[in-house]
Structure 1
Amino acid sequence: MTSLKGHTRSRDARIKPVTELAARLSRELQGEVLFDHASRGRYSTDASIYQVTPFGVVIPRHQDDLRLALDIARDARVPVLARGAGTSQCGQTVGEALVIDTSPHLNGIVEFDPEARTVVVEPGIVLDHLNAWLKPHGLWYPVDVSTSAQCTLGGMTGNNSCGSRSIRYGNMVHNVLGVDALLADGSEASFGFVDELAEGSRAHQLAERVKAIAERVGPEIREHFPKVLRRVGGYNLDLFDCQNPKPYDPDGRVNLAHLLVGSEGTLGVSRTITLRLSPLPEHKVLGVVNFPTFYQAMDLTQHIVTLDPTAVELVDRTMIDLSLENPAFRPVIEKALIGRPEAVLLVEFAGSDRDAQLASLRRLNELLAELGLPDCVVDMPEPAEQKALWNVRKAGLNIMMSMRGDGKPVSFIEDCAVPLEHLAEYTDKLTEVFHRYGTEGTWYAHASVGTLHVRPILDMRRDGAGKMREIAEQASALVRDYKGAYSGEHGDGLCRGEWVAWQFGSTVNDAFREVKQLFDPDNLFNPGKIVDTPRMDDERYFRFPKTYRTIPLTPVFDWSGWNVTRDPLTGEQGEPGSAGDPTHGLAMAVEMCNNNGHCRKFDAGTMCPSYRVTRDEQHLTRGRANTLRLVLSGQLGDEGLASDDVKEALDLCVSCKGCKRDCPTGVDMAKFKIEARTARARAHGLSLRDRMVGEMPRYAPWASRLPGLLGAVERVPFLSRRVKKALGLAAERSLPVFDGNFLASREASAGPAVGTREVLLFVDTFNNYMEGDNARAAKRVLEAAGYRVHLNVRQDERPLCCGRTYLSSGQFDKARLEARRTLDHLMPHVRRGVAIVGLEPSCLLTMRDEFLQYGFGKEAQALSEAAYLFEEFLVKARHDGELPLELKAPGVSRAMLHGHCHQKAFDAVRPIEQVLGWIPGLEVETIESSCCGMAGSFGYEAEHFDASMKMAELSLLPAIRDADADAVLVADGTSCRQQIRDGAAREAIHVARLLEQALA
């Protein structure tokens, strides 16, 4: 890990002061103080290419903590770096400093004035959370950046963020009215309109000094400040330029708060921010313009903006193709395409009059026809389809970063802004530059304002740094030729700090240095940013320098699919990279996390349930991926995946697989946890509880013969407590009941034995020994539909098992043996074209996922393609015209559906909704929820019970408690049904049982 230069004392000289700093912070603050190596490592990166280890991390509990932390750091003469979501793409939020993370607690709404359309917020509030709070009032904060689900208003203010609709609403600097900030000398100042600042106040004194600096260099400001909307480099000294006013306020008033906007935390630390709000548009329509060439899309943008749209956003061919590879995005992007376009533009119109917006959409179609492209627009007038497509656009960065292999799209020139009339020529010439260096660029984003996000594909481990420097120099020359801005949206940071002097000239750059000295004479606020910055390609600051290596270890899964090389120009995949290194594929899978923080969302999807209840970076998918990366590269010792750091980071991971689907780059933390649990078990052995969980399929037959035994234990409180304590189980949980053996029952062998259509019903351990009624119901439904139902066991051997319990307890070798045994038994059916149908999502979907990485080759692939969840199979059969299933009203009129996490990960909730929709008179509501929190054995474990219940209380249990008493609850997951029973005292059933009730 690396550190910044520029401080007078050496690292060794600082060890003792930093140790004393940690001790004092821990004594005096109520918030968290994190100085351990793993925590510092997790805060050493943001969404940029850089990594700089901080001295420590403070998470203030309240405003007094924030002030006290700054006071203590100032006494110790230790730099501070205020940070929100850590989504910066230029390295603004990494540095050798004390990081202060305001996002977990300093995220409140302080004041709200709906009449004046203003709101005062703390810096840690997330943009989407604020807008959700404002929505009932008909207002919103319109700087709608693509990271709106995770970015904080403090970070947006420090970065002068822009967003997709800046053509209508402007940037942060146009929408911030005031900032209350703590300054480097310990004082507090309220920054606002200069004509309202109290005479003699700290803010007024600073305003006078800054004004004098700005007036002195006024001619240089007018010459060198780019005349484009998207200009976020340096400090906003032009706010005082009265001779050639470019006001950031609609009324042309000078507001000193605008100096802090875009200052990247180098001038002050925000306590609160006052924002100007806008009326929420009542109606929106969207036109998706398909272009046969990329050049046409760029050239015609200047004509499209004359229609007064609220947004014109680009999606290029690369992003389209990557979206089509993502199961969550594929059905959305397909609806927007006409043929195979090289680029599409998302053109939005919004306002209070729907007819006016529809008229604008018609004019868009007419304009394109006049420009020679008739019938190239896909009209999307309805909100649901618009929202789905905008979500794909918002995920643009992560979608691009889903490329596998060492070569990745690298951010360093991605938001240069040029006037629209030069956009097509600029992009064309920059593409020539990329080709000159044997690479290609991926393009997307803000065509409306001439700011396109472009990232050339480079391998930073090899020759990427040299190419980055040369491409940057040639790109800057193009930007200068077209009188654009080198930094158009994402700020300066470590990546573009050295280009500030190039953009603004030495005189203005010296003025910036004066401003920094005025506010922060000891250089303690985020040093090394905007002024006195390092070179962008100083390898000491890279996350992946040429010296980067992974430690030797042998993963248990086959990760060769991630260990690839790809030609940036053709996209063709070559031979596996780093041949002979078994760690590399696993490392590449871990490094798919680009630190963009998409996993920090709270309002939708599954990811990440543990972070939602802890707000702790350690329990975030990004935090876990960073921990694994640091471990695999030897930066956290040499114990590898068996280390305590990995165990702690993955402790609350419930293996929900939400990240597998919700993360646009497909980070699969559940599978990483299997690797880590296996390594830990091999290094430290298994506990009794681990063995009990893993061996459940082995002892379930014996337990089912004594169904009353565990019930008897439960009925004796003293005995129950002793047994649960010995096993490490939560006293609040009821022990599972083994009440039968469906596969050995008469019902299993009964039923029609003839028929041309066959299916194999895979009855898992849970639905065989604990809830046989589910298997019985599924068999009846399939037989009623005319299928000959085979079962997954012969009478002379124990039932088959997917091995899931072994995987979750770290017993990989046993899991693989079970998988091999299951595969051998099922393959004759698969070869005959018989579908394998399962009831328990975690079991059946193991065949579709983990089986593929055991090294079983084509057989595993064939089983994966033949394996269906019960409701998936029914939907497919109906689609194929092979489901003569007659249903009647089952006696209930309302159903509430909770999807299992793995169903959500594999987009398998919709089939349940479809099947339930076949039942006459049944109204179905799907509960919008994350993980239920039970997650197999997780919710049973004593140390995890509280976290389990908090996850359930996020949305699932409150929704069930509010449900009508006569509503039937549907949940396919065994664990989900148990959690609902324990947490809400309601019984949920498998969809198969409800269908059985509805059989005509």
Structure 2
Amino acid sequence: MTDARSLVDLLARTAPGLEVDTGEGRRAQYAYDASNYRVPPLAVAFPRSVEDVAALVRACRDLSIPLTARGAGTSMAGNAIGPGVVLDFSRHLNKVIAVDPDTRTAVVEPGVVLDDLQRAAAPHGLFFGPDPSSHSRCTLGGMIGNDACGNHSVRYGRTVEHVEELEIVTATGVRAVAGVGGLRAVESENAAEIATLDAELTRLVDDNLAALRTELGRIPRQVSGYQLHHLLPEHGRHTARALVGTEGTCAVVTRATVRLHPKPAATTLLALGYRDVVDAALDVPAILRHRPTAVEGMDEAIVATLRHRRGPGAVTGLPEGAAWLYVELDGTDQTNADARAADVLTELRAGERMVAGRVIDDPAERRSLWRVREDGAGLAARLVDGGTSWPGWEDAAVDPHQLADYLRDFRTLLAKHDFTGVLYGHFGAGCVHVRIDFAPATPEGAAAMRAFLEEAAALVVSHGGTLSGEHGDGRARSELLATMYSPRMRAAFASYKRLYDPDGVLNPGVIVDPAGVDAGLALYAINSRAPEGGFTFPDDPGGLAEAASRCIGVGRCRSDSGGAMCPSYRATHDERDSTRGRARLLQEMLRDGPGTVITGGSRSTEVRDALDLCLSCKACAADCPVGVDMATYKSEFLHRHYRRRLRPLSHYSLGWLPWWAVLARWFARPANALLGGPLGRLVARLGGVTTERALPSFAPRRALRAHLPPPPETPAAVLLVDSFTRAFRPDVAGAAARVLADAGVPVTAREGLCCGLTWVSTGQLGIARRVMTRTVERLDAEGELPIVVPEPSCAAALRHDAPALLGTDTARRVAARIRTFSGALTELADPDWKPVAVPDRVTLQTHCHEYAVFGETTQSTLLRRLGVGQVDEANGCCGLAGNFGFEAEHYDTSMAVGALSLAPKLAALDTTATVLADGFSCRTQAAHLTGPDGPQVRHLAQLLDPNPSGGTR
């Protein structure tokens, strides 16, 4: 294969302006998708136009370089990775070109995210039917490539049924349009070539009529292979639909016209509990007679994992059972939909299999339940017992009437091979997702996996099923197509591929001339050696390598909505700035053995640069289905990277802020005057701090004592006045003490102890360890009272980081006592307590660390319980994120993140509005965004203070 330099030189002449990245970091990010496979590419390209695509295809053909098209890279079958050029459409070719409500169609570019299409169609009362669980990040191009389906496939089927026309670039670099009746060229000079291709397709169909009519299209979810039956005359010779599901092996899609559907007038959701998944499957045929819009199933392992990771309240609304079905029904209005649901429940209750069932009326419960189902792939990857599971046989499908028999035999097969599988999927369509505890990281484990896959293929075929029901064949199943299709049909597939791609450039090794199912597995030996002083990684015995390997590529961090992860990706839309992109670089850095792309180890500048825009917000620790905690990984990496080396200036200024703050207390007035004047800008620049922000003012030494009320005789909790509150907001400490006392939780204040957060976030773990050790030992020796910390980030450091860094029983005991202010009111306050007054409406910015460590709805739930009528939340990170937004090189990114949610919320308010931001960073960013004439930004304690003048009630 030609080297990357030749490709770059050729494209510089033929496609000037096309971004082609051959760096180690980029190649490492794109060596993986969401499958078991790792194939480092030669380069990654980011086209901005169809002309860029055509030029790239021609260059790859001329230089015999493979080309793999990619959307969000969420493929579980390994069909979004390749050894040549990976063509990423998601960066630039990601627009909804048009929505036509009259014809109910939309024209889209291949990189458009499904949720973006849904948002564009919604004002017209329309939507796109197929809805994979990855709808928040999967692209239409990827859905077309895999023939994706989704949770509502019982009603709306597969992507292929919704494709009207495709604009493509052939493997020779020629632009064409595929649709009903055949192909046509876009440019007249290519008409003869496309006409010849079209005629050869007709000849291929004529030569294989019997096989196409008998082997293809047998069951609703038959995705495996090529869907050549769409070329039959009775199907209108639909060349576009024949290309759907070809996984980028035949042509490159550059635009698509897709069909839309009217939104249902009303829907309702049933949750049905069963003893096991076989019992659930046995009821599917009866449910299907009621024409539901969705019938989804899952077993108890997924629910247990989510509750273990996010608390018992993470899943609400499920009835009794060890396996569940979600059944959604629509109706002409809500009364009609509810009546249909009642009919289903009546029928199933008359049987013997359903344990319990209920209608889910509460919208919050519905969202909670759908989130469990949509996060299934990630939740099933890391289970409660610490075990791991893998894809590879996650996508088989049978006729739904055969599902129970198939599941019964499949569980027998698992037991025969001594494997355990976590089952979930689209039961109404007969499609079962299962993640299995394979051991693909060893040769013996890979051999055992291969033996199982061969028997599993034979089993599903014996039930009349298909190897793939929506993810495609990719590298995981293409070799097994010989079990499912006759030699004649496989020869027809090969002929079809050669007609479109005679040189075999497009996504080689997939479907035709397949690579082995055990070739290219992401095998690596865990390298857990770490310099002394790093994190203990209590949930990952293999250290950073095992922790980083939690990322399995599902890509939820690439979403633009829902949750708070990942703010830097939402600002840049660059894979490098996603949680997944960073995790993949860390995995590559920590690989043992030959072939690794990242060669510098912990000194790697590529990994350092990828982690640079990580805000250490910790949102991924809560939002990532497999629990990736990039803030911790970044800290560990910085600890290793800068060991015995000079650090960035901001690590000494902002990283040591608690120490500087102790000094400044004694000279607060002159220090504030200095920092607020012209010399302050020079000091900021020398410390690596941006001059675009006003530096916060230090409180005088005696300010805290002046704000705190007298200590109670019998305290019920300890108020730990953290470094930030003591240095910048001592009034918050006083307000917190008064509110807690008013709520029946009198507190004794404790100051002079630091959580060590700033040293943790800058990777100065040796100092952080000493600071945290002193703090937890003092707190542990002083009793067992709950510890309330006004600053959420400091509370999170003591709850989460201290035990992980110190690994001691002392740290764990103290961590269990830590509460945020809102958490303390929720858990400790007198149940009958009510504050003096609360506003009708509050705009809330929840600190990311509180969101991640203490629960995403703790504060909003408390506010509503206290009587606030409307809580308008700014979703996601404020953008300041501790030291990040104060660092000169990160100011622009900080503001871009702030502009995603917080800034628009604030811009809509007047000066009398109530804005809450408990985090010092959040408050600082909000004040910076609104300016001196904006609304006042307060801590919750200040809002609830019974006597703001500082006295007692």
Regarding TM over 0.5, the answer is: yes
Q: Structure 1 333/627 Cα, relative in aligned 2: closer, same or farther at 3 Å?
A: same
1:734 aligns with 2:694: yes
1:899 aligns with 2:833: no
Aligned to 2:673: 712
Aligned to 1:862: 813
Q: Find the aligned partners of 1:728 and 1:24 in 2 and give their Cα distance.
A: 41
Work out which of the residue numbers 784, 792, 809 in structure 2 matches 1:841: 792
Q: Structure 1 79/747 Cα, relative in aligned 2: closer, same or farther at 3 Å?
A: closer
In structure 1, runs of 5+ residues without a counterpart are 1-8, 248-252, 565-583, 794-798
Q: Find the aligned partners of 2:587 and 2:464 in 1 and give their Cα distance.
A: 41
1:529 aligns with 2:516: no
Work out which of the residue numbers 363, 367, 375 in structure 1 matches 2:343: 363
Work out which of the residue numbers 30, 34, 45 in structure 2 matches 1:47: 34
1:335 aligns with 2:286: no
In the TM superposition, residue 492 of structure 1 has moved relative to its aligned partner by 1.1
In the TM superposition, residue 555 of structure 1 has moved relative to its aligned partner by 6.4
Aligned to 2:925: 979
Letter of the aligned partner of 1:897 in structure 2?
L
Aligned to 1:93: 80
Q: Find the aligned partners of 1:587 and 1:448 in 2 and give their Cα distance.
A: 39
Equivalent position SS for 1:107: coil
Q: Find the aligned partners of 2:463 and 2:361 in 1 and give their Cα distance.
A: 36
1:553 aligns with 2:530: yes
Letter of the aligned partner of 1:550 in structure 2?
N
Equivalent position SS for 1:99: strand
1:298 aligns with 2:259: no
Aligned to 2:579: 621
Equivalent position SS for 1:91: coil
Q: Find the aligned partners of 1:928 and 1:268 in 2 and give their Cα distance.
A: 43
Q: Find the aligned partners of 1:776 and 1:561 in 2 and give their Cα distance.
A: 36
Letter of the aligned partner of 1:102 in structure 2?
F
Letter of the aligned partner of 1:22 in structure 2?
V
CA contact (8 A) 1:703 1:738 kept: yes
Q: Find the aligned partners of 2:192 and 2:330 in 1 and give their Cα distance.
A: 43
Work out which of the residue numbers 698, 713, 716 in structure 2 matches 1:754: 713
Q: Structure 1 23/203 Cα, relative in aligned 2: closer, same or farther at 3 Å?
A: closer
Q: Find the aligned partners of 1:203 and 1:127 in 2 and give their Cα distance.
A: 31
Aligned to 1:221: 212
1:490 aligns with 2:471: yes
Cα RMSD for the two superposed structures: 2.3
TM-score (normalised: structure 2): 0.94
Q: Could you report, residue by residue, the CA deviation over 1:571-591 in whole angstroms, capped at 9, with x for unpaired residues? A: xxxxxxxxxxxxx23211111
Equivalent position SS for 2:924: helix
Aligned to 1:507: 488
Work out which of the residue numbers 770, 775, 792 in structure 1 matches 2:733: 775
Aligned to 2:772: 819
**Percent of aligned positions that are identical:** 33
Aligned to 2:705: 745
Equivalent position SS for 2:899: helix
Q: Could you report, residue by residue, the CA deviation over 1:417-448 in whole angstroms, capped at 9, with x for unpaired residues? A: 11233221211111111111111111101111
Equivalent position SS for 1:782: helix
Aligned to 1:673: 634
Letter of the aligned partner of 1:596 in structure 2?
V
Q: Could you report, residue by residue, the CA deviation over 1:557-602 in whole angstroms, capped at 9, with x for unpaired residues? A: 45453346xxxxxxxxxxxxxxxxxxx2321111110011111101
1:990 aligns with 2:939: yes
Q: Find the aligned partners of 2:453 and 2:921 in 1 and give their Cα distance.
A: 53
Q: Find the aligned partners of 1:598 and 1:747 in 2 and give their Cα distance.
A: 44
Letter of the aligned partner of 2:299 in structure 1?
D
1:21 aligns with 2:10: no
Q: Could you report, residue by residue, the CA deviation over 1:30-64 in whole angstroms, capped at 9, with x for unpaired residues? A: 24321011211110111111111111001123333
Equivalent position SS for 1:682: coil
Q: Structure 1 753/496 Cα, relative in aligned 2: closer, same or farther at 3 Å?
A: closer
Work out which of the residue numbers 888, 898, 919 in structure 2 matches 1:942: 888
Work out which of the residue numbers 966, 980, 993 in structure 1 matches 2:912: 966
Work out which of the residue numbers 610, 613, 630 in structure 2 matches 1:652: 613
1:162 aligns with 2:149: yes
TM-score (normalised: structure 1): 0.90
Q: Find the aligned partners of 1:258 and 1:886 in 2 and give their Cα distance.
A: 62
1:696 aligns with 2:657: yes
Aligned to 1:661: 622
Equivalent position SS for 1:521: coil
Q: Structure 1 914/259 Cα, relative in aligned 2: closer, same or farther at 3 Å?
A: closer
Q: Find the aligned partners of 2:263 and 2:391 in 1 and give their Cα distance.
A: 33
Aligned to 2:267: 284
CA contact (8 A) 1:107 1:126 kept: yes
Q: Find the aligned partners of 1:745 and 1:560 in 2 and give their Cα distance.
A: 39
Letter of the aligned partner of 1:778 in structure 2?
A
1:852 aligns with 2:803: yes
Bigger CA drift: 686-695 or 808-817?
A: 686-695
Q: Structure 1 316/787 Cα, relative in aligned 2: closer, same or farther at 3 Å?
A: closer
Letter of the aligned partner of 1:773 in structure 2?
D
Aligned to 1:576: none
Equivalent position SS for 1:849: helix
Aligned to 2:330: 350
Bigger CA drift: 206-215 or 97-106?
A: 206-215
Aligned to 1:806: 759
CA contact (8 A) 1:350 1:357 kept: yes
CA contact (8 A) 1:226 1:485 kept: no
CA contact (8 A) 1:168 1:310 kept: yes
Work out which of the residue numbers 43, 57, 76 in structure 2 matches 1:56: 43
Letter of the aligned partner of 1:820 in structure 2?
T
Q: Could you report, residue by residue, the CA deviation over 1:90-147 in whole angstroms, capped at 9, with x for unpaired residues? A: 1111111111101011111112211110000000000011112211211000100111
Q: Could you report, residue by residue, the CA deviation over 1:764-821 in whole angstroms, capped at 9, with x for unpaired residues? A: 111112111111111122233344421224xxxxx10001111122221111111111
Q: Structure 1 972/406 Cα, relative in aligned 2: closer, same or farther at 3 Å?
A: closer
CA contact (8 A) 2:11 2:18 kept: no
Q: Find the aligned partners of 2:734 and 2:174 in 1 and give their Cα distance.
A: 72
Q: Find the aligned partners of 1:561 and 1:765 in 2 and give their Cα distance.
A: 27
Q: Structure 1 333/744 Cα, relative in aligned 2: closer, same or farther at 3 Å?
A: closer
Q: Find the aligned partners of 1:511 and 1:365 in 2 and give their Cα distance.
A: 47
CA contact (8 A) 1:235 1:263 kept: yes
CA contact (8 A) 1:742 1:769 kept: no
Aligned to 2:875: 929
Q: Could you report, residue by residue, the CA deviation over 1:641-674 in whole angstroms, capped at 9, with x for unpaired residues? A: 2321221110000100010000010000000011
Work out which of the residue numbers 183, 193, 203 in structure 1 matches 2:170: 183
Q: Find the aligned partners of 2:275 and 2:387 in 1 and give their Cα distance.
A: 27
Q: Structure 1 99/790 Cα, relative in aligned 2: closer, same or farther at 3 Å?
A: same
How many residues are paired up?
A: 937
Structure-to-structure mapping, 1:566-605, within 5 angstroms: 584-605=542-563
Equivalent position SS for 2:310: coil
Letter of the aligned partner of 1:455 in structure 2?
R
Bigger CA drift: 674-683 or 648-657?
A: 674-683
Letter of the aligned partner of 2:584 in structure 1?
N
1:37 aligns with 2:24: yes
Q: Structure 1 997/425 Cα, relative in aligned 2: closer, same or farther at 3 Å?
A: same
Work out which of the residue numbers 110, 120, 138 in structure 1 matches 2:107: 120
Aligned to 1:573: none
1:542 aligns with 2:489: no
